[in-house]
Amino acid sequence: MPLKNFMMYHRCLFLFKLILLDEPKYLFDKLEFLRTPRFILNLIIPSNELHGPSKRFLVHDVRFWNAIPNDVKIRNSVPTYKTKSIHYFKNTYGLITTVYSMPKAGFSYLQ
């Protein structure tokens, strides 16, 4: 599995556990679900302009989560989600360039 896919897998696994277990509560409370039947379990991307760099990780995680298909997201346990999502991320290549791009040279997250 390419490194970018592996990173996306772990970020989506974190969000899946957050949604399934509602823990940690302070992060779960920051999630907002999109309420449409077509996009089950999609999240509203938090505005990072209002909250600064402290929410950037959540913004990227929500973008990754929304990019994966519903049939991967709709699982009722962590082991079944892991199996389905590993298979999905092993076989997905074009998604990475549209959702996530590496920072430019000289960019610092500490700005």
Output the DSSP codes for 8-71: HHHHHHHHHHHHHH--SHHHHTT--B---SSSTT-BPPP-HHHHGGGGHHHHHHHHHHHHS-HH
pLDDT at res. 50: 53
Domain ranges for the chain:
3-99
Task: Pick left, alpha or beta for residue 106 (phi over 0 → left; psi -120 to 50 → alpha; otherwise beta).
Answer: left
pLDDT single digits (tens) 66-103: 888 888 888 889 999 999 999 998 887 555 444 444 44
**Could you give the CA distance from residue 67 to residue 70 in angstroms, rounded to a whole number?**
9
With bands split at pLDDT 50, 70 and 90, how would you rate the model's confidence at 52? low
Q: What is the dihedral of CA 28, 62, 18, 7, to 10 degrees?
A: -140
Instruction: Say if CB 34 and CB 44 are below 8 A apart.
Output: yes
The verdict on pTM exceeding 0.75 is no
